[in-house]
Chain A
Amino acid sequence: MSTPTVMKFDEALAKFEPVLGIETHIELGTASKMFCGCATGFGAEPNTQVCPVCLGLPGSLPVTNHAAIEGIIKIGLALNCEIVEWCRFARKNYFYPDMPKNYQISQYDEPLCVDGHLEVEVEGETYRIEIERVHMEEDTGKSLHVGGATGRIQGALHSLVDYNRAGIPLVEIVTKPITATEDKAPLVARAYATELRELVRSLGVSDVRMEQGSMRCDVNVSLMPRGASEWGTRTETKNVNSLRSVERAVRSEIERQAAVLDAGGTIVQETRHFHEDSGTTTSGRSKEEAQDYRYFPEPDLVPMAPSRAWVEELRATLPELPAARRRRVQGEWGLSDLELRDVVNAGAVDLIEDTVKAGADAATARKWWMNELSRRATEQGVELAELAITPAQVARIQAMVDAGELNDKLARQVFEGVLAGEGAPDEVVAARGLKVVSDEGALSAIIDQVIADNAAVADKVRSGKVAAAGALVGAVMKASRGQADAGRARELILEKLGAS
């Protein structure tokens, strides 16, 4: 295979119009699996969360998890979908070792939720992403491929399968074709995935952790030559497991397809795999057979007919959704659009709000999370929310600043101590002996000592060289281990040396 060439993004956009489609799989955070009572915890020892039902043993029968159906209906409602009055599960038949039954229980032509939408914002523009359907299915097992290069399926000699994940409730959310995004296509795709993640997280029905696979995106891209009226052939890129990768996968596919089409080639409808390292996609299957899943209604499960009363009951439990919440905090905290965007992108809305609830004012709460703590999160290579400090602790530190017990410089030392696992803020303050020296007597004593130790400098100040006092202030700060109020120390020094 020759090295795939790419066309520069801007050039590709000048010649072609991109059309996107995004399919997102989200594992629900239920205690038990979709159709059996096996536990769903991530990272358990292989094949310890399996039973006759999820292993597809003869004679076993699935029974639908009520909480999973509640979860998907909540997602559907939050996405402005219609919840249908009657639908069924369907069998999707395929031979692949990740499903021991040789079929996946899914939904086909009768999805539970249809016709929704989600608004996302990119650089001040609002894009309304239409949702085609949201349906319920079960996750597959996980395979380890042995004998090939770096665990890839290509060239593997055999594979080892763990069915702990098989049968975990999985919600699939499918967009309608997303058009007219132009050069914003990669950003719109990313913004959609981001907003969807926030939305589902706010519902509390999934932890939506892309790095652990509880949210996974498949990105469909096709290109249409400028002036054409028919869409081009699309490819489906799988294995897109971070928000950044969603953006990169769209961009990379646009650049690749444009080069193929521009050279007179054709796009093959195929599955492609995204590679985090290179940010490019490669063809997924060497000899793609036309898929024929022979879907038919699942005979082991009876139809679902969610009553309107139940649906309305669930609607009433929906929390404030992220978009409404952002508008509210923007007003309450007095943020500009740009400031709000920074706070949202940093994942700091919850953290700041909880810090405010714990007693801090919004401006200082935002200052700590967006400056000091964002810097430390970047240093550690973790998300802000993963830092080892709670909003309540941030509020406590700020309370000590407000009470004059700490200055900002000392507060930063307390943050350092808390993040290093030295304990709660008060424990760090006590253990490190951090206190602003506001006691005039103590400060005065330190200054007297500094003047005695630096007689030559003191004489210069006495003779009118006020600028020399800076060295003495520095010495006082050092002697007090940063705990003195520098401004007050300077006043006292000049006073004592008759230079004020």
Chain B
Amino acid sequence: MSAITRDEVVHLARLSRLALGDDELDHLAAQLDQIISAVARVQEVAAEDIPPTSHALPLTNVYRPDEVRPSLTPEQALAGAPAAEDQRFRVPRILDEEA
């Protein structure tokens, strides 16, 4: 039994806003299945006394003082924007037309 279904890959692609063709879905579903299966093997090694971790470093409580640092200029901030208007990032229509 595969670790991830093709339908789940379709769902993930939509969430990630990736337009994938049927060929790509078949190809990626197989690859993702292999990756997940490989990671699953690590779980077999993990014993009861090893808690799940989200971070490679055994650190907690890393904070910075509440001090203002210089920001970018608006020109710098907008330099990489595909479109700008009135010193703001211009983005395409957010809501689709009513069906």
Q: Which residue numbers of A lie inside 8 Å of B, CB to CB? A: 30-32, 36-39, 45-52, 55, 57, 63-69, 86, 88, 93, 95-97, 100, 143-145, 153-154, 156-163, 285-287, 292, 294, 296-299, 301-306
What is the 8 Å Cβ interface bit string for chain B, positions 20-54, against chain A (1 contact, 0 not)? Answer: 00000000000000000000000000000000001
Which residue in B74, B86, B91 is a CB contact (below 8 Å) of A97? B91
Q: Is the CB of A47 within 8 A of B74?
A: yes
Instruction: Specify which chain B residues have a CB less than 8 angstroms from the CB of A145 in the assembled complex.
Output: 94
Beta-carbon nearest neighbor of B60 in chain A: A305
Q: Is the CB of A46 within 8 A of B74?
A: yes
Instruction: Specify which chain B residues have a CB less than 8 angstroms from the CB of A63 in the assembled complex.
Output: 62-64
Q: Is the CB of B59 within 8 A of A46?
A: no
- Chain B min CB distance to A35 (Å): 9
Q: How far is the CA of A67 from the CA of B68 in the complex (A)?
A: 12
Instruction: Specify which chain B residues have a CB less than 8 angstroms from the CB of A48 in the assembled complex.
Output: 71, 73-74
Number of interface residues of B (CB under 8 A): 39
Beta-carbon nearest neighbor of A36 in chain B: B69
Known contacts: A161-B88, A286-B95, A302-B61. The answer to whether A31 contacts B74 by CB under 8 A is: no
- Interface residue SS majority, chain B: loop
Q: Is the CB of A66 within 8 A of B60?
A: no
Which residue in A45, A55, A158, A292 is a CB contact (below 8 Å) of B91? A158
Between A and B, 8 residue pairs with Cβ closer than 8 Å are: A37-B70, A45-B74, A45-B87, A88-B54, A143-B94, A159-B91, A162-B88, A287-B99
Instruction: Specify which chain B residues have a CB less than 8 angstroms from the CB of A294 in the assembled complex.
Output: 15
B98 at interface, CB cutoff 8 A: yes
Known contacts: A47-B78, A66-B65. The answer to whether A303 contacts B86 by CB under 8 A is: no
Q: Is the CB of A158 within 8 A of B71?
A: no
Q: How far is the CA of A30 from the CA of B71 in the complex (A)?
A: 16
- Chain B min CB distance to A262 (Å): 28
Known contacts: A36-B69, A50-B77. The answer to whether A158 contacts B64 by CB under 8 A is: no
Which residue in A30, A154, A304 is a CB contact (below 8 Å) of B60? A304
- Chain B min CB distance to A63 (Å): 4
Which residue in A36, A38, A66 is a CB contact (below 8 Å) of B63? A66
Q: How far is the CA of A30 from the CA of B68 in the complex (A)?
A: 10
Known contacts: A31-B66, A32-B68. The answer to whether A153 contacts B95 by CB under 8 A is: yes
Q: How far is the CA of A259 from the CA of B87 in the complex (A)?
A: 46
Beta-carbon nearest neighbor of B88 in chain A: A160
Beta-carbon nearest neighbor of B86 in chain A: A160
